[in-house]
Amino acid sequence: MRFSRRHRARNNGDESILPLTNVVFLLLIFFMLAGRITGPQPFEVDPPRSASEAAADASAIEVQLSSTGALALDGKPVELDALTDVVRGELDAHPDWPLRLKADGGGDATRVVAVMHALRDAGATKLRLITLTTDSE
């Protein structure tokens, strides 16, 4: 029994998986470029509605205020007493970045004002209150 040359050559399994690997890497690169990966938020914030359609700045320091009064700076929980010092440090590192305040629409307005005073005391000159447009759900 003689085997022909075609039957003696074994198929290399790597040759058949190479196109699949290329497709997986292309999809990975696409989703890395198309999507924005963000860390988990410390609490849920439902911003108030607004008729304004101004886009938020990509490079900004974000302060979040929940409906219960909990605060977070760029996703890290912080107390109101420490907010001024922490924001001052961030503004020293990034003096041209504006501040964004993302406050829950169902929260206490006096707490929002207290946070705004703390941000002003930290040296903030640009503050944007994040809202949702009236037509977004």
State whether 53 and 30 are in the same domain. Answer: no
Cβ contact 104:46 at 8 Å: yes
What pLDDT is attached to residue 137?
A: 47
State whether 17 and 67 are in the same domain. Answer: no
Please give the Cα distance from 65 to 112 (Å, whole number): 8
Alpha helices in the chain (DSSP H): 5-8, 13-34, 80-93, 109-121
| DSSP H helix total and E strand total for the chain | 4, 7
State whether 58 and 115 are in the same domain. Answer: yes
- Lowest mean pLDDT, pick from 8-22, 56-70, 109-123: 8-22
Q: Which tokens in the block code for residue 116?
A: 């705004």
**pTM to 2 decimals?**
0.56
The residue among 15 and 77 whose pLDDT is bigger is 77
Please give the Cα distance from 75 to 9 (Å, whole number): 58
Residue 65 lies in a domain: yes
State whether 87 and 115 are in the same domain. Answer: yes
Rounded to 10 degrees, what is the CA torsion of 65, 69, 74, 80? 120
State whether 120 and 67 are in the same domain. Answer: yes
Region 104-120: mean pLDDT is 86
CATH of the domain at 128: 3.30.420.270
Instruction: Name the band, by pLDDT with cuts 50, 70 and 90, for residue 104.
Output: confident
Cβ contact 133:53 at 8 Å: yes
Give the range of the structural domain holding residue 29, as residue numbers without chain letter.
5-34
State whether 27 and 88 are in the same domain. Answer: no
State whether 57 and 18 are in the same domain. Answer: no
Whether residue 76 has pLDDT greater than 70? yes
Instruction: Name the band, by pLDDT with cuts 50, 70 and 90, for residue 132.
Output: low
What pLDDT is attached to residue 30?
A: 83
Region 126-132: mean pLDDT is 78
State whether 73 and 120 are in the same domain. Answer: yes
State whether 27 and 66 are in the same domain. Answer: no
State whether 92 and 30 are in the same domain. Answer: no
Region 98-117: mean pLDDT is 85
Region 23-41: mean pLDDT is 77
